Structure 1
Amino acid sequence: MAQADGAPGPGAGQPYVFKLVLLGSGSVGKSSLALRFVRNDFRSILPTVGCAFFTKVVDLGAASLKLEIWDTAGQEKYHSVCHLYFRGANAALLVYDITSKDSFRKAQQWLRDLEREFLPGEVVVMLVGNKADLSEEREVTFEQGKEFAETQRLLFMETSARLNHQVTEAFSAVAGELLRRAEKEGQTPRGDARLALNPRPTGRAKCCAH
């Protein structure tokens, strides 16, 4: 299990604490995205076994957020185990490789898994098309990713962990949405409170997420 910490700046107040899970099939670059965001580092790494854990404080000006990032294993044999890491999640990044249609289909499966675990709007979900630096080998177009995200009410962004392209922006966009919803719900900066992240004013009937 790996861990890295980011500390609030001088004089910063107590940060909100949110749990974020990285989901997707093997070799799509989940660990690379986490390492690039937390440590600004990129290197070839072995597949995650079980789960790796990182923390990072994100400064959003008036408030700061501490993201507890759970990087789950993508191999099929760990799929059932990874469901354990969903518990208590406030946000999820569904990651696929733009050079692999199969990984895009697997990301959609992970979304269905999330929908079985959470109420509508209970988690902030972003669809992330990684490895944008390999555009010549692209199998999933930007439009396909964006269209799927829009139909499912997901945030969407393409990234490159290798080139550090839109990695910070992706995590920051999720953090910003978490903060917006927390303030709307009137939540104080504490790590022990679950957010009711329903973007609609209607009741919390069981259905879909991300």
Structure 2
Amino acid sequence: MDGGSGCVTKKYKLVLFGDAAVGKTSLVLQFVKGNFSNEPQEATIGVAFQSKIVCLQDSTVKFEIWDTAGSARYQGLAPMYYRGADAALVVFDITNEDSFTKAKTWICTLQTQVKKSIILALAGNKSDLKYHKSVDRQKIQEFVEENDLVFMETSAKSGNNVTNMFLSIATKLVEKEKKALEDQATSSGHNTTSTTNTSTSAAVAADSLDNEGDDMSDGCCCCCVVL
């Protein structure tokens, strides 16, 4: 698919997880539509779907965004949504320590249940309430580094770092795909070289046998066995 600028549009499945009321839906709506409602959001039932196209420097990315419900009664459905996901964004509320604990559990679940190539990201939402922050920054940083996560503090209300969060995930996805293609090309190159070397060796061996045959023909002698 052409993104309109001569670039091929790459399509990726992105799934959001996190406790109820951490602002997952608000983040998605801020990213997709650029707005925030001060009215309380209705709780997501099961999953909500949105899509958004973003342009990077040399790529166009289409996110297919699956916003899952945070309520415990829907968590059993999670495997249906993270199966085949290219990226997952786990969200917690920086003013709610328990939501960070739940976020860590989600990360661990995804690491063990989803394909190894998935990009995992963590968003500490509600940064506009930083004076009410209850999650220790050092704990967050250590967890992010230990698990190699994309991480930002975001605010669905002000829009702070919302677009940057999704752009960072898009960049990671494109980089990982490029590396996979480069590794595949390198591997194919090695296989081609190996095949060529094998063919060359076989040709040299065959040529050597032909030369031996010629020598035997030119210097042939008949041996008679006297009984």
Q: TM-score, normalising length from structure 1?
A: 0.81
Aligned-residue offset at 1:106: 0.3
Where in structure 2 are there 5+ consecutive unaligned residues?
A: 183-227
Q: Structure 1: give runs of 5+ residues left out of the alignment.
A: 1-6, 188-210
Q: Indicate the structure with greater helix content.
A: 2
Q: Which of 137, 141, 151 is the matching residue for 1:156? A: 151
1:135-175 C-alpha deviation (Å, 9 max, x unpaired): 12111133321221111111111000101000000000000
Of 96, 107, 111 in structure 2, the residue corresponding to residue 111 of structure 1 is 107
Please tell me the residue identity of whatever aligns with 1:106.
Answer: K
Shift of 1:9: 5.7
Structure 1, residues 16-40: CA drift from partner, whole Å, max 9, x if none? 1110000101000000000000000
User: Of the candidates 16, 21, 27, which is equivalent to residue 27 of structure 1?
Assistant: 21
> How much identity, in percent, do the aligned residues show?
40
Listed as ranges, the matches of 1:44-123 within 5 Å are 44=39, 45-120=41-116, 122-123=117-118
Matched-pair contact (CA < 8 Å) for 1:133–1:160? yes
Per the alignment, in what secondary structure is the counterpart of residue 155 of structure 2? coil
RMSD: 1.7
> In terms of Rg, which structure is larger?
2
Residues 82 and 114 in structure 2, CA contact (< 8 A), matched pair in contact too: no
Q: Which amino acid letter does the alignment assign opposite residue 186 of structure 1?
A: L
Residues 157-196 of structure 1: matches in 2 within 5 Å? 157-186=152-181
Tell me the distance in 1 between the aligned counterparts of 2:2 and 2:164: 19
Is 2:7–2:58's contact at 8 Å kept on the other side of the alignment?
no
Offset of residue 49 of structure 1: 0.5
Kept after mapping to 2: 8 A contact 1:19/1:68: yes
The two structures have a TM-score, normalised by structure 2, of 0.75
Segments ≥4 residues shifted beyond 2 Å: 7-14, 141-144
